[in-house]
Amino acid sequence: MAKYDYDLFVIGAGSGGVRAARLAAMSGARVGVAEEHRVGGTCVIRGCVPKKFMVYASEFAHHFKTAESYGWSIGESRFDWPAFIADKDKEIARLSGIYVTNLQNAGAELVHAKARLTDAHTVALEGHGQVTADKILIATGGRPWSPPELPGLEHTISSNEAFHLAQLPKRIVIAGGGYIAVEFAGIFNGLGVDTTLVHRGPNLLRGFDDNVRAHAAEEMEKRGIKVVLGCQHARVEKTASGLVSHMVSGQALESDVVMFALGREPYVEGLGLEAAGVAVNEKGAIAVDDYSRTNVENIWAVGDVTDRINLTPVAIREGAAFAETVFYDRPTRFDHDMVASAVFSQPPIGSVGMSEADARHALGKVDIYLSRFRPMKYTFAGADERCLIKLVVEASSQKIVGCHMVGPDAPEIIQMAAVAIKMGVTKSQWDSTCAVHPTLAEELVTMREKFVPADLGAVA
Ligand code: NDP
């Protein structure tokens, strides 16, 4: 007679939880999974996946405009938001269903319930009694954060609601300068919404390379987004004609929708961490070691709830490493170094490794290679749209420690750059790769002149 109901109980059926549960169940372990919302988590239900569909939908206006320069006559075009949202929801339901099937095929049992730890081995499942487990994995992800005291907060939406607006607004104010704010600014602007992006800092996308940040903001403005920097909400007022964002500066911005994208917080509320003795760090995230183990011996946590690198593929790899370590007896830690990421802004950004500033701080002397140019597609179209490609090289070892791009297909291109950089490629090895012509990416392997900041104007 087994001591516990399950060998492993996973709380949260998002990217990290599902991967861990499937691998553990495939090893022969008895696995239970609790999910209070829909299976698939943020990425599938209200994040990466629906967002990417929205990015695709919103890019067409730009493609239509470019097409005219290539001899096409574009007839009247119209975008049907409710139809698109309905189709998007259908596809999300299909994908969520695949996640459920995959869990079941692996042999894991799924319970639709909010889970709460009552001690280190017991999980109460709202409306479904309680279960016991030898090991527990917490993979509850994160959720949008907004300043709770802000007057008029109830009139604002987060990214969660942006996926389900009944109508496309005519005007939107988006607050924030991170991934979500710039991605949704591109989406709404592309769909013809009068879009204003307000950010408290002097530049968007903190953490990215400074040239990338400046270049991206410039290009987003060229596409029609109003970028207002050094600007923060004091309150939001509902009026007869919509909403007014009253800024700390005294500025007032009218819109139909105000969206806050001011960061996300680990979702630990109501989880019963105290009852199980699980410690959180100063940011409120579950504290874990390199193997994703918490301070409680039989409890692990992966993904955004641990606030390490909050990206879907990272959560998946952390979940897989947990399962390898615990259920296959192969101690595995996920290496969080050199994780590439993309911002699906318009134009998009791809980035891997250190920014110039971080590299100078960490490594001392660095060589910089930077190119800003008009891709041939847009030169032909007579459009003033520029790409940026930048390499950061450690001077002493000549290893490439950072690669950053803004421009069409940057997220696709950066994936391959990340392979070489993760392997420790040097600049001369990189340059020995023959260019693929004519492509935008060939510029990556043809930059020979070191960049000194004063050149920026000349290069541009
Ligand atoms: P981010 O942490 O990326 O950005 C939050 C933004 O809000 C920052 O610009 C920050 O400014 C600003 N901010 C924070 N607090 C306040 C405040 N009180 N008043 C005004 N501004 C404030 O969060 P996001 O919500 O955009 O995204 C969350 C995470 O989700 C990302 O970090 C990323 O890991 C992940 N994600 C990844 C995507 C991808 O891979 N493409 C897409 C979407 C999300 P400041 O810089 O000054 O602190």
Taking the C-alpha atoms of residue 2 and residue 25, their distance in angstroms, rounded to an integer, is 16
- Nearest to residue 135, comparing CAs of 41, 9, 273? 9
Q: How far is the CA of 220 from the centre of ligand 1 (A)?
A: 17
Say if 336 falls within a structural domain.
no
Judgement on whether residues 286 and 168 belong to the same structural domain of the protein: no
Q: Which two tokens stand for residue 185?
A: 């600014």
Taking the C-alpha atoms of residue 112 and residue 272, their distance in angstroms, rounded to an integer, is 18
- pLDDT (tens digit per residue) in 392-417: 999 999 999 999 999 999 999 999 99
Q: How far is the CA of 159 from the centre of ligand 1 (A)?
A: 11
Taking the C-alpha atoms of residue 216 and residue 230, their distance in angstroms, rounded to an integer, is 17
Judgement on whether residues 399 and 437 belong to the same structural domain of the protein: yes
Q: Is the pLDDT of residue 255 over 50?
A: yes
Q: Is the pLDDT of residue 224 over 50?
A: yes
pLDDT at 457: 47
Question: Ligand 1 pocket check: which of 43, 163, 180, 249 to mutate, most ligand atoms within 8 Å of Cβ?
Answer: 180
Judgement on whether residues 160 and 107 belong to the same structural domain of the protein: no
Judgement on whether residues 122 and 176 belong to the same structural domain of the protein: no
Interior angle at CA 274, CA 126 and CA 284, nearest 5: 100
Taking the C-alpha atoms of residue 351 and residue 415, their distance in angstroms, rounded to an integer, is 9
End position of a domain, from candidates 236, 262, 288: 262
| Residue of the CA atom closest to atom 22 of ligand 1 | 262
Q: How far is the CA of 70 from the centre of ligand 1 (A)?
A: 38
Query: Per the residue annotation, which of 155, 164, 215, 437 is the catalytic one?
Result: 437
Say if 340 falls within a structural domain.
no
Ligand 1, residue 205: give the atom nearest the CA: 9
- pLDDT (tens digit per residue) in 279-304: 999 999 999 999 999 999 999 999 99
Taking the C-alpha atoms of residue 44 and residue 115, their distance in angstroms, rounded to an integer, is 20
Say if 337 falls within a structural domain.
no
Judgement on whether residues 199 and 174 belong to the same structural domain of the protein: yes
Banded model confidence at residue 459, pLDDT cuts 50, 70, 90: very low
- pLDDT (tens digit per residue) in 335-372: 999 999 999 999 999 999 999 999 999 999 999 999 99
- Nearest to residue 182, comparing CAs of 345, 406, 373? 345
Interior angle at CA 71, CA 69 and CA 77, nearest 5: 80
Cβ contacts of 432 within 8 Å, gap of 6 or more:
none
Judgement on whether residues 273 and 204 belong to the same structural domain of the protein: no
Tell me the backbone φ, ψ of residue 75, rounded to 5 degrees: -75, -170
Judgement on whether residues 93 and 181 belong to the same structural domain of the protein: no
Judgement on whether residues 32 and 164 belong to the same structural domain of the protein: no
Mean pLDDT of 13-17: 98
The DSSP code for 411 is H
Provide the CATH number for the domain around residue 439: 3.30.390.30
Say if 105 falls within a structural domain.
yes
AA letter at 154: E
Query: Which residues sit with their C-beta closer than 6 Å to ligand 1?
Result: 147, 176-181, 183, 199-201, 206, 232, 261-264, 310-311, 341-344
Q: Is the pLDDT of residue 453 over 90?
A: no
What is the distance in angstroms between the CA of the first residue and the CA of the last residue of the chain? 72
Cβ contacts of 150 within 8 Å, gap of 6 or more:
233, 234, 235, 236
* Residue-number span of the structural domain to which 437 is assigned: 347-452
Say if 386 falls within a structural domain.
yes
* 437 classed as catalytic: yes
Say if 54 falls within a structural domain.
yes
Judgement on whether residues 19 and 138 belong to the same structural domain of the protein: yes
Say if 122 falls within a structural domain.
yes
Domain count within the chain: 3
End position of a domain, from candidates 210, 240, 262: 262
Banded model confidence at residue 455, pLDDT cuts 50, 70, 90: low
Ligand 1, residue 341: give the atom nearest the CA: 40
Banded model confidence at residue 149, pLDDT cuts 50, 70, 90: very high
Q: Which residues pair with 328 in a beta bridge?
A: none
Judgement on whether residues 77 and 138 belong to the same structural domain of the protein: yes
Q: Is the pLDDT of residue 218 over 90?
A: yes
Judgement on whether residues 257 and 271 belong to the same structural domain of the protein: no
With beta carbons less than 8 A apart as the criterion, state whether 347 and 411 touch: no
pLDDT at 175: 98
pLDDT at 460: 40
Q: Is the pLDDT of residue 185 over 50?
A: yes
Query: What's the mean pLDDT when you consider all of the chain?
Result: 96
Mean pLDDT of 239-266: 97
Note if the bond before 144 is cis, omega within 30 degrees.
Answer: no
Mean pLDDT of 133-145: 98
Judgement on whether residues 13 and 137 belong to the same structural domain of the protein: yes
Which three-class secondary structure state does DSSP give residue 258? strand
Ligand 1, residue 310: give the atom nearest the CA: 34
Provide the CATH number for the domain around residue 46: 3.50.50.60
Ligand 1, residue 179: give the atom nearest the CA: 26
- Nearest to residue 14, comparing CAs of 288, 278, 333, 304? 304
Mean pLDDT of 305-334: 98
Which three-class secondary structure state does DSSP give residue 401? strand
What is the sign, positive or negative, of the torsion defined by CA atoms of 406, 410, 411, 416?
negative
Residue 264, H or E segment: strand 264-266
With beta carbons less than 8 A apart as the criterion, state whether 61 and 191 touch: yes
Mean pLDDT of 60-89: 96
Taking the C-alpha atoms of residue 414 and residue 221, their distance in angstroms, rounded to an integer, is 24
Say if 13 falls within a structural domain.
yes
End position of a domain, from candidates 219, 238, 262: 262
Taking the C-alpha atoms of residue 427 and residue 370, their distance in angstroms, rounded to an integer, is 13
pLDDT at 454: 65
- pLDDT (tens digit per residue) in 428-452: 999 999 999 999 999 999 999 999 8
